[in-house]
A and B are shown apart, each in its own frame.
Chain A
Amino acid sequence: MIAKLLYSGLLASLIAGTAFAGEPRGTNDMGIVVERAIGKVLVVETTRRTVLGEVEGLGDLSHAAAVFSRDGRYAYVFGRDGGLSKVDILTNTLVKRVMQAGNSIGGSISQDGTLIAVQNYEPGGVKIFDAVTLDQLADIPATYGEGGARSKVVGLADAPGKRFVWTLYEAGEIWVADLADPKNPQVRKFKNAGRQPYDGLITPDGRWYIAGLFGEDGLALLDMWNPDKGVQRILDGYGKGDPALPVFKMPHLRGWGFADGKMFLPAIGRHEVLVVDVRTWKEVGRVPVKGQPVFVMPRPDGRQVWVNFALPDNGFMQVIDVPSLSVQKTLEPGPGVLHFEFTPRGETVWVSVRDKDAVKIYDTGTLDEVSQFKADKPSGILFTARANKIGL
């Protein structure tokens, strides 16, 4: 009997394609690489830098984002086509997939791991799902103004206390929803947050929500500890009235972190990284860089900040030395550098190079490439360490 049970367990894991044939393993050194054009993710492992498996059938991943369950076993992948997919990275299987909207841009997981929120462009709004079953629990349309028009939703983030925050692009509003009772969301709206907010982030301590503005030289800041103070404007007029340069790709804000008590942000229409003191929210410097920054992300220890760029400079990356606020090195992994992710303690960074169909791995100490592997038009690289971080 026991032998039979054991046997069928083994069989099940073989059928499920477990990478280590039933051998238990942790997932803390694992992650996924999104292959944007073919609806597939690679399951990867950062200790030996290998691809463990792949999962297909995730639809249109042209703007794919993902979050991880708190046990680091499941990736929730948000497809552009409105698909929400739950992927088991231990067995390389697609556990469940629901089509929840026509056009979607990303999602978040609640502090307690029970809720998945998805931000949609079409129809504009946020939907809330049960993280286990993917059953829909709530629908919060992003309606605004007199006529009941719906806005695209950008910059969704999880906040402590089973809350989510997001921004309405057309409406220029920031909404904070409390999902203590998931079927009955309590939404607080902050109007006049700024013109054309294009993305948002919450700081790793969960206190500050920041929306980047395309239509203004400035950013919108909401203190989640003191929401009654409303939305403040920071870095107002950072462009100093200079004509903006074309922005061939919108910067992304999620992935931000502290470095040396400062925050590093992409300027819009200027080839600069803005440096802000996180106590005063005043600009304390700016670093001239090669192009329009897209991702500006500190190494986990904050000693370096890495930047990639929009066209025509998307072949490059630059490493900013934080103490001196200057570019330490320019790398050229590209063309087509779309995203990068640090291993949890930052000894390497994994870079997706779309136009070379490759993921390249750099040692962040020597700044040398140490490894690479093939991937079909890779975009997002997301490691399970995100499961333990607010705002990711």
Chain B
Amino acid sequence: MRNLFLLAAAVPILFYGVAAPAWAGDPIPSPARQSELDYMLRQDCGSCHGMTFKGGLGSPLLPEQLEGKSEDALADVVLDGIPGTPMPPWRSLLTQPEARWMIARLRRGLDQ
């Protein structure tokens, strides 16, 4: 994972073209990694949040729930978890840009 991060960082020109403005300056996961992250979102985050993100043991993560919250703060929630709740820290499995990519993906809505 760390390697992928470096790889993405090493070829930023390729990826900056498709970056959303808020991401400027961040390395973006490679297309292959993006599809892994997308799969992980639905399947693994989905095990607690529901595969359609309408909620489960974890809160719903639909665009309307995430609206108005800072992308960085939500990415930190993903990386650090929420202590005292079942939301685990994903830092050992995800990098910061990957967590941000996931949040952005959730905000667009998974069907988009």
Contact = CB atoms under 8 A, between A and B. Distances in A.
Interface of A: 36-37, 60, 62-63, 80-81, 102-103, 105, 121-122, 152, 154, 169, 196, 198, 214-215, 246-250, 311-312, 336, 354, 377
A359 to B, nearest CB: 17
Most buried by A among B42, B52, B86: B86
A3 B43 CA distance: 53
A196 B84 CA distance: 9
Contact of B46 (A62, A196, A250): A62
A62 B50 contact: yes
A81 B50 CA distance: 9
A249 B50 contact: no
Contacts of A63: 47, 50, 56
Interface in B82-112: 84-86, 88-90, 92-93
A73 to B, nearest CB: 29
Interface in B59-92: 81, 84-86, 88-90, 92
A311 B88 CA distance: 11
Contacts of B50: 60, 62-63, 80, 103
A97 B112 CA distance: 29
B57 interface: yes
A80 B47 contact: no
A335 to B, nearest CB: 10
Contacts of B57: 121, 152, 154, 169, 198, 250
9 contacts: A62-B46, A62-B51, A63-B50, A80-B50, A80-B56, A103-B54, A122-B55, A198-B86, A249-B47
B37 to A, nearest CB: 13
A246 B43 CA distance: 17
Given A80-B51, A154-B57, 18 more contacts: A37-B42, A60-B51, A60-B52, A62-B50, A62-B51, A103-B50, A103-B56, A121-B56, A121-B57, A198-B57, A198-B86, A246-B81, A246-B90, A248-B90, A249-B47, A249-B48, A311-B93, A312-B93
A169 B55 CA distance: 14
A60 B46 CA distance: 12
Interface of B: 42-44, 46-48, 50-52, 54-57, 81, 84-86, 88-90, 92-93
Nearest to B45: A248
A146 to B, nearest CB: 22
Nearest to A61: B51
A36 B51 contact: yes
B84 to A, nearest CB: 7
A60 B50 CA distance: 9
Contact of B52 (A62, A121, A154, A214): A62
B86 A250 contact: yes
Nearest to B93: A312
A250 B43 CA distance: 14
B32 to A, nearest CB: 15
Contacts of A196: 85-86
A169 B48 CA distance: 14
B93 A247 contact: no
Contacts of A246: 81, 88-90, 92
Contacts of A248: 44, 88, 90, 93
Contacts of B51: 36-37, 60, 62, 80
Contacts of B52: 60, 62, 80-81
A386 to B, nearest CB: 22
Contact of B86 (A36, A81, A102, A214): A214
Contacts of A377: 43
